[in-house]
Amino acid sequence: MRLLAALLLVLLPLSATAVEVLASVRPLALIAAAVTGSAGSVRQLLPPGASAHHYQLRPADRIALARADLVLWVGPAHEQFLARVLAGQPRLLTAQRLPGISLKLKRRPDGDSALPGTVDAHVWLDTDNAVVIARALAEALAARDPSRAALYRRNANAFANRLGTFETREAQRFQRLRSRSYLAYHDAYQYLEPTLGLNFRGSLLSGDEDRPGARHFLLMSQRIRKEGLYCLLGEPGFDQALARHVFNGLPGNLVTVDELFAQAPLEAGGFEAGLGRLSAAVYRCLGGQ
Ligand SMILES: [Zn+2]
């Protein structure tokens, strides 16, 4: 009996204080799953693959937000619809505001210049940013759940090591490609460009996701012909007819990529799985096997 009581004392603090993380979108939920491992639980606010650029909160979302021990979101640049609801929320981790996070400006659809005063929201595609988020989350969890502090930090370190391996491997692989120039349906891959050595040559949608005019499509068509571009990265459900129109009879690899890692399982290795799939799609688009 005394043994059982002692055993319970050892076990109880661990199981009783498991922290629940509510992440806005899949990539952040996957980072959280890497940090918590089998401890704690991670939930995701937006359904997998739902675009945060056009999301409307449901009543159930508001309840989930109010109940969460810790909310992890990219920030107003990505989930504008959350900005008002989360104002004053004390248990909040805002990725775009973390010290050490590197932010890029949105670009004009011709890719030739940036849009001042903007933030490109796809911050998780920079592996260094993903590690910054993981480490900040480990510290936030450690503060709420000190009994597992070492575990969270160890998991964040392991995550950083795995992404380091990914980066080295992919940088080498992409070096063999003849061309690394690409077009995007919507300009989402900027943060991945340094890792893969990609050369952005324009997007079909503008930075705020509206359709630019006919003049822009003509410019893109001319560029495709002149520079021999053939890789266009589109997201699920992108307008293929528009893309074909812009390629104007020239062969284009119109490859669908999953910037939101919707297909990746919500588990510790899920982030690398999502990033690996995305990278493999880009590789295929650029003519690699
Ligand atoms: Zn996007």
What is the Å distance from ligand 1's center to 186 Cα? Answer: 7
Is position 107 within any domain? no
pLDDT value, residue 213: 86
- CATH number of 84's domain: 3.40.50.1980
What is the Å distance from ligand 1's center to 51 Cα? Answer: 7
pLDDT value, residue 53: 75
pLDDT value, residue 12: 46
131 and 233 part of one domain: no
pLDDT value, residue 199: 97
Give dist(CA 60, CA 249) in Å, integer.
47
pLDDT value, residue 13: 46
pLDDT value, residue 268: 92
Q: What is the number of structural domains in the chain?
A: 2
pLDDT value, residue 207: 60
pTM, to two decimals: 0.91
What is the Å distance from ligand 1's center to 287 Cα? Answer: 24
- Assigned token pair, 20: 């629940």
Q: Are the C-beta atoms of residues 29 and 266 closer than 8 Å to each other?
A: yes
Is position 73 within any domain? yes
36 and 140 part of one domain: yes
List, for residues 269-288, the tens digit of each pLDDT value: 999 999 999 999 999 999 99
Name the stretches of the chain with pLDDT < 50. Answer: 1, 7-15
What is the Å distance from ligand 1's center to 9 Cα? Answer: 47
pLDDT value, residue 52: 81
pLDDT value, residue 27: 96
Which residues, chain by chain, have CB under 5 Å from ion ligand 1?
Answer: 188
- Assigned token pair, 134: 């993981």
What is the Å distance from ligand 1's center to 171 Cα? Answer: 23
Give dist(CA 62, CA 274) in Å, integer.
27
Last residue of a domain, one of 109, 133, 168: 168
List the domain range (segments joined by +) for residue 144: 13-99+123-168
